[in-house]
A and B are shown apart, each in its own frame.
Chain A
Amino acid sequence: MHEMSIVMGIIKIAENEAAKANVTQFSAIDLEIGNLSGVEYEALDFAWNVAVEGTVLENATKNVHKIQAKAQCGDCDTIFDVQYIYDNCPKCGSYFKSILQGKELRVKSLDTY
């Protein structure tokens, strides 16, 4: 359940931003999470409900923008969608690849009231 640590990280970021903006509550938060980030969305939801109580995110709507992973083949340069980290190149079959996107774990924005 490392998702609890993830939520604690989100709250820490939000509390720093709240202090800067001089607000006590946020109405919404937008997160960007790639499908290779290692975060289980359901586990995140579960941890979220427990952790945000009494924080600046208590009443905030959580919008998760899922990012589809993409990789570039190390042998033939083909760019392809990645579902699992062990997916290989659909063109040449190589497992050598660099991940272009999909590992994101980011707080994109916060909305104030």
Chain B
Amino acid sequence: MCGTCGCGTGNSFSINKPGELHHDQQESHSHSHEHNHDHTHSHDLHDHAHPQNDFVHLHHHDHSHEHSHSHTIDVEKNILQFNDMQASRNRGYFEAKNIFTINLVSSPGSGKTTFLERTLTDLKSKIDFFVIEGDQQTLNDANRIDAVQIPVIQINTGTGCHLESDMIYDAVKKLEVKDNSVLIIENVGNLVCPAMFDLGENQRVVIISVTEGDDKPLKYPDMFAGSQICIINKIDLLPYVNFNVEKAKEYAKKVNPNLLFFEVSATKGDGMDIWYEWLLKVKR
């Protein structure tokens, strides 16, 4: 979708590496709105000439024929087919190159980037990481990842509220992701829209923090239904907030009984070891 006007032509998102010249917004389409409205459908008066054998039968209708040529085309197509198709291509590419891909989703401010920074810093000696950052605007998150010396690329979606599989396809090519690595995609901070868009990832990881409501899994069930892992972040703040961890888990399990939980504090480091253990195991 166009980041400037909301119209749907062209590729309106921009992909940038930290340190690259950054245009405010890539204008990849022009805004000409020429509509052609001259539909001439004159089916009401017909002169039919019927040559039959050797005499010509010419008659003129003084009543109007309502010739309706309308017909129904059976389409039966999934509306998200283009995203799903590209996601499948991405998945095949990742599989062939043994790239383990995580789609990290959450509402804004749950600590996605801090969680990511800590994971990268602590595990970069053991795992080759690559990161795709998704935000509406700015290179801020990519710069934070760049600061811990991990190859990173930023997708700015403009007004878009989620990443789509074609953006990942473009970003992966530009990022030159190596074989046998772990690719982490930090989605746009939004607990609603990214739920519907498969990017081709192996695992979807949803983060909630204890400064949010513990009923979030019930309020935004789609995201929890589509994830395999749930990280409960900022547990060091539990003594100060009204968040019941067991209740949050119970709600999340109602939505998705197969969810796997990790309770962590990305800033203090609590619980991160268990998460690392899991990541190293699935990575192998």
Contact = CB atoms under 8 A, between A and B. Distances in A.
Interface residues of A, number: 37
Interface in A17-31: 17, 21, 24-25, 27, 31
A6 B84 CA distance: 12
A35 to B, nearest CB: 12
B196 A2 contact: yes
B70 A1 contact: no
Contact of A4 (B6, B71, B76, B83): B6
Nearest to A24: B39
B58 to A, nearest CB: 29
A54 B31 CA distance: 12
B221 interface: yes
Interface in A54-112: 54, 84-86, 88, 95-96, 105-112
A109 B70 CA distance: 13
B21 interface: no
B162 A2 contact: yes
B221 A108 contact: no
A1 B136 CA distance: 13
B193 to A, nearest CB: 4
Contacts, number: 100
B73 to A, nearest CB: 5
A85 B221 contact: yes
Contact of A11 (B8, B69, B221): B8
Given A9-B81, A12-B82, A85 B75 contact: no
B284 to A, nearest CB: 29
Given A96-B257, A105-B79, A4 B74 contact: no
Contacts of B41: 113
Contacts of A96: 257
Contacts of B197: 2, 5
A19 B186 CA distance: 38
Contacts of B160: 5
Interface in B14-30: none
Contacts of A50: 6
B71 A111 contact: yes
Given A2-B162, A12-B82, A113-B70, A86 B218 contact: yes
Contact of A105 (B33, B71, B80, B251): B80
Contacts of B72: 109-112
A95 B253 contact: yes
A88 B218 CA distance: 13
B63 interface: no
B61 interface: no
Contact of B196 (A24, A38, A95): A38
Contact of B255 (A2, A31, A86, A111): A86
A11 B193 CA distance: 19
A109 B73 CA distance: 5
Nearest to B258: A96
Interface of B: 1, 6-8, 33, 35, 39, 41, 69-83, 160-162, 164, 192-193, 195-197, 217-218, 221-222, 225, 251, 253-255, 257
